[in-house]
Amino acid sequence: MNTYPLKTTRLVNAFIVLASLVFAVNAQAQLNLCTSPCVAAQAVTPGVEASIQLQWRGEVEVIGDAATVTSKDGNFAVGNATNHTQLGNVAVPLRVTLSGPQRGGAATAFAINEQLVVPAQVSRRAAALGAVQLHYVRTFSVNGISQTANYAIALNQFAPNASRSLNSASDPSASSVGLNRVDLRFNTGKQVEVISAGTKLNAIATLNFDRAGMLDAVWEVATPETTIGQAVYRPLQNVRQALAAGRQVAIQSPALPTGNAGVYRVRLRITSPASDQNAVPVTLSYQVQQANTARAIDSAALITLASPVPNITLDTDTEFSWTHTQGALAYQIEFFDSATPDTLRPITGLQLKPKQTQALLTASVFNRLLLGQTYYWRVVAFDSEGRVMAASELRPILTSP
């Protein structure tokens, strides 16, 4: 797990201007920092390199002739200080030396400017993980004491200053769409669904792009006959659509199959243009249950949970594990926002490989859980035909503030 150091001490004349870094240094070299991140004035577009101006400002109570504030490097991340995914490093040191005041004990203000380049691959990966903002984190030091500061950089949802339509004289196939982000959800707004047989369901792909061109893709679905093992996808519908430059577009799937019980997977596989977004297609999972599934879960065998223990704070190293159920071929981890949830509507979840009885959560699941909340999770086991055969108790788990 990546964590950033945090030390909290006495506040001395703290103030914030643009950035939230505030220092106070006395004989014990105390440091202080606002816990909220600074907000960059400029947003960045996923997949487009950007240069933004940051300014770290604060105060140092200089004891003696001088004090030097330094920062060795910075890091890009999504998430928060305890639960985050690191995306890149900026090996550019910052340094400012401050002279002591004529009369000791007075605070000396400082400002450190930084021209930050956000690489295209960093913002693209942040968007692919479902983040709406990117964090840029630095650790500053003075007199041997360290303190962390954090800038929040918003991610544009689509390219700015873009035209609204293709030029009528242009051939859309002559240019290549510049895909920045592909977000896939069901028409219910969720990324995991558990529904009754026969319920109407569609998937919606939201594409952000910055160049006009022609998009070619295929909606594909894998049915319960194969999702318990190696998923085999079959085409549902071909998509060929001319896209206007620099816009956001939503593409809806045809009605998804919901007639038979079991686990299904659906995806939009983009065949043209080639980009990082179609190297590994975004996939959604949904489970179709018969009308008596809720009763089946209530009467199913009990899965014994091993870890994590109740009320632990979730982080990237939290391992979920349980005892194997005889005859079970697949398991699913489900998350709810209530201790007595509507068991047909988990808010998110994770489907596992056959017979897998331990797992770490993926970044996409992490990014769907709000900070400072209590959630409830359980494990459900399925047989070779996708029927529920066992389920665990609901166990509370916390997310960091």
Residues 6 or more apart from 73 whose CB is under 8 A from it?
A: 89, 90, 91, 92, 93, 138
Residue 322 confidence class, pLDDT cut points 50, 70, 90: very high
Domain 293-398 is found in CATH 2.60.40.10: yes
* Cα(130)–Cα(111) distance, integer angstroms: 33
pTM: 0.47
CA 179 to chain centre: 19
The answer to whether residue 16 scores a pLDDT higher than 60 is no
105 burial (CB, 10 Å; 0-12 / 13-18 / 19+) is exposed
Query: What is the location of CATH 2.60.40.10 in the chain?
Result: 293-398
Nearest residue to 112 via CA among 60, 44, 75, 64: 60
Cis peptide before 46 (omega within 30 of 0): no
* 125 in Cβ contact with 13 (< 8 Å): no
Confidence band, pLDDT 50/70/90 cuts, at residue 46: confident
Average pLDDT over every residue of 212-233: 86
pLDDT at 29: 37
Strands (E), 128-280: 133-142, 145-154, 179-186, 192-196, 203-209, 213-222, 234-243, 248-252, 262-272
Contact 360, 313 (CB under 8 A): no
User: Is the CB of residue 352 less than 8 Å from the CB of residue 359?
Assistant: yes
Contact call for residues 145 and 75 (beta carbons, < 8 A): no
Q: What's the number of CA atoms in the CB half-sphere (13 Å) around residue 111?
A: 8
The pLDDT, as a whole number, for residue 18 is 27
Average of per-residue pLDDT across 118-134: 83
pLDDT for 108 beyond 70: no
β-sheet bridge partners, residue 291: none
Q: Which residue has the higher pLDDT, 276 or 2?
A: 276
Whole-angstrom CA distances from 203 to 35, 87, 158, 255, 365 are 39, 29, 20, 8, 18
Give the best-scoring range by mean pLDDT among 6-10, 106-110, 139-143, 358-362.
Answer: 358-362
Tokens of 324: 């194997």
Mean pLDDT of 240-253: 81
Q: Work out whether the CA dihedral 317, 338, 335, 202 comes out positive or negative.
A: negative
Q: What is the DSSP pairing of strand 358-360 with strand 305-307? A: unpaired
Average pLDDT over residues 212-224: 89
pLDDT for 321 beyond 60: yes
Alpha helices for 146-247 (secondary structure H): 224-227
**382, 301 contact by CB (below 8 A):** no
CATH 2.60.40.2550 domain extents, the chain = 172-289
Distances (CA, A) of 260 to 150, 197, 221, 351, 385: 49, 6, 14, 18, 10
Residue 394's pLDDT is: 93
Q: What is the mean pLDDT of the chain?
A: 75
Specify which residues 350 forms β-bridges with.
333
Q: Report phi then psi at 172, rounded to 5.
A: -60, -25
Amino acid 9: pLDDT? 26
Distance (Å, whole) CA 387 – CA 395: 23
Question: What pLDDT sits at residue 124?
Answer: 82
**CATH, domain 21-154, list 3.40.50, 3.30.70, 2.60.40, 1.10.3210:** 2.60.40
Residues facing 114 on adjacent strands: 54
E strand residue ranges, 228-362: 234-243, 248-252, 262-272, 283-289, 301-303, 305-307, 319-322, 330-336, 348-351, 358-360
Q: What is the CATH number of domain 172-289?
A: 2.60.40.2550
**Whole-number Å distance between alpha carbons of 62 and 60:** 6
Q: Is the pLDDT of residue 36 over 70?
A: no
